Amino acid sequence: MAADPRPILFLHVPKCAGTSVVTMFSNMAGEAHCRRLHLTTLDATNRDIAECFGPEAKHLAFISGHIQYGFFAPHEWNFRLFTMLRDPVARVTSLFRFLRRAPDLAARGLPEKFTFADMLASPSGSVFPGVDNAMCRMLSRKLRFHDEAAPEPWRLETHAYVLEEALATLRESVFGLAERMAQSCALVRHEFGIPYEISAAALNTTNPNGSVDEARFAPQIRARNQLGLVLYARAKTMFAERLAAIAGPPRHTGADAAHLVFRPALDVPVQCPNVPGRQGFHEDFDGISWIIAHQTARLHFVAPAAACRLFTVVYSLAPDYPVERISLRVNGQPVRFRVVPGAAHWFELRSETLQLDEGLNVLTISPPLVLPVRELLPENGDDRHLSVGIASFRFVESSWPALPEAPSPPGVSQAQSLFVRLQERRSFLKKRLPAWGSKKRL
């Protein structure tokens, strides 16, 4: 089979684990090879989409956006389609919890402290499509169902053919189910020929115990999602059939995913967000990729030489973070390294000489502990637990001399401004780090 060079298009249905999936694919492709699209005006959206498939966008490997399939349909031979679905009742309930935390309620036409009934009754163009048969709406080719001025009634029950359009789109695409994320990742790997294990961390989740009486509103949600319920039931059957086929040959060859593996050159530093073949990192933050809490970050790469050293520039959440306790392994074997400190929060890990395989190699990075950003910096509103972020990787010849000077950190003014107050809390950290080290987390 010939390799398929077309980018993967992720049709991002709201509240269907899309943030987790986007992060997973951004890790695999590298930020420089990804494009996020936004629904704006009709002309601007069509122009942005056309640019993604033009001659200047040959570098793109992954495209995503909360944009209906109808916008992409004219280009359907230029991409490989992927989407995620979710039980409609759980999806609308999650949407309510998400909107209750949104800062722009007035722009969405919702009052402050709106109720579930307010959301269901809202005619707003930023609310209604997410409540009324959203999955069918997103998979349909009919753009008028996203137009507030459309002459047809918005409610899709009078347009049952949209269900058949949505099912036809599913049959031609790869899709997963939010409730079965591990199996969805296995299916993605099989269908797109990805040569390593992939996983999607639970990101952008809302509190399942929030102020929603799901049982009370479930009948109303079902009444507004009759087509979506049928779509989801049939999708589950299709999904089971495709899972059963995983035991057979992959749908595509490994060559289709060659651009999803890191192929470094010797002595060329590459910023971590732009490195493909990764798993376990948050999306780019001003040139740094933070490792997702309680996960082992992985880098899948083809060695630039049989024997070489790896220099990794690291930014730590705390200036006295125990970076020497970070665990590095290559192909399962522990890697010794020397820590070279730079400016506050900055370090470079210089490894011993690595004996690498000719094919695919796997580097794993396991930080010893995570710290709560909100406790250290309550004013910034970041709810994550973080440890270290990787700024860059550089492979050097095994005979490359160990220079005494500290590494020059890349420009990360945003990161520095975010964590500048950590310096003021140095004494606090020194008192708490032993406890964090023993508990691994708060």
pLDDT for 400: 66
Residue 415 lies in a domain: yes
pLDDT by residue (tens digit) across 177-224?
Answer: 999 999 999 999 999 989 999 999 888 666 555 556 677 889 999 999
- The percentage of residues in the chain with a pLDDT greater than 90, rounded to a whole number, is 60
Residue 361: which domain range?
261-439
Q: List, edge to edge, every strand of the sheet that includes 80-85.
A: 34-37, 62-65, 8-11, 80-85, 174-177
**Number of folded domains that form the chain:** 2
186 and 318 together in one domain: no
Residue 1 lies in a domain: no
191 and 305 together in one domain: no
Residue 281 lies in a domain: yes
pLDDT for 252: 46
Other CB atoms within 10 Å distance of the CB of residue 265: 10
Element counts in the chain: helices (H) and strands (E) = 14, 19
Residue 364 lies in a domain: yes
Domain boundary among 218, 247, 276: 247
228 and 187 together in one domain: yes
327 and 403 together in one domain: yes
pLDDT for 372: 86
- Higher-confidence residue of 408 and 368: namely 368
Query: Nearest 5°: CA angle at 261, between 20 and 312?
Result: 85
164 and 227 together in one domain: yes
pLDDT exceeds 70 at position 432: no
pLDDT by residue (tens digit) across 300-353?
Answer: 999 999 999 999 999 998 888 999 999 999 999 999 999 999 988 899 999 999
Name the residue among 294, 405, 296, 394 with its Cα closest to residue 354: 394
CATH number for the domain including 179? Answer: 3.40.50.300
373 and 423 together in one domain: yes
pLDDT exceeds 90 at position 248: no
137 and 279 together in one domain: no
- Higher-confidence residue of 3 and 325: namely 325
Domain boundary among 216, 247, 278: 247
pLDDT for 209: 53
pLDDT for 430: 41
Q: From start to end of 32-149, where are the E strands?
A: 34-37, 62-65, 80-85
Name the residue among 250, 279, 270, 219 with its Cα closest to residue 396: 270
Instruction: Please give the average per-residue pLDDT across 353-371, as a whole number.
Output: 94
Instruction: Please give the average per-residue pLDDT across 291-299, as a whole number.
Output: 93
pLDDT exceeds 90 at position 74: yes
Mean pLDDT of the chain: 84
Collapsing DSSP to helix, strand or coil, 267 comes out as coil
Are 310 and 374 in contact by the 8 Å Cβ rule? The answer is: no
- The percentage of residues in the chain with a pLDDT greater than 70, rounded to a whole number, is 81
Flag the least confident range among 20-29, 70-79, 403-412.
403-412
pLDDT exceeds 80 at position 423: no
Residue 379 lies in a domain: yes
pLDDT exceeds 80 at position 141: yes
237 and 270 together in one domain: no
Domain boundary among 220, 247, 274: 247
pLDDT for 324: 95
Q: From start to end of 270-418, where are the E strands?
A: 270-271, 278-279, 289-290, 297-302, 307-316, 327-330, 333-334, 337-341, 346-351, 354-355, 360-366, 371-372, 385-386, 388-397
Residue 188 lies in a domain: yes
pLDDT exceeds 90 at position 91: yes
pLDDT exceeds 50 at position 397: yes
pLDDT exceeds 80 at position 382: no
CATH number for the domain including 388? Answer: 2.60.120
Beta bridge partners of residue 386, listed in sequence order: 371
369 and 408 together in one domain: yes
Distance CA 7, CA 64 (A): 10
131 and 60 together in one domain: yes
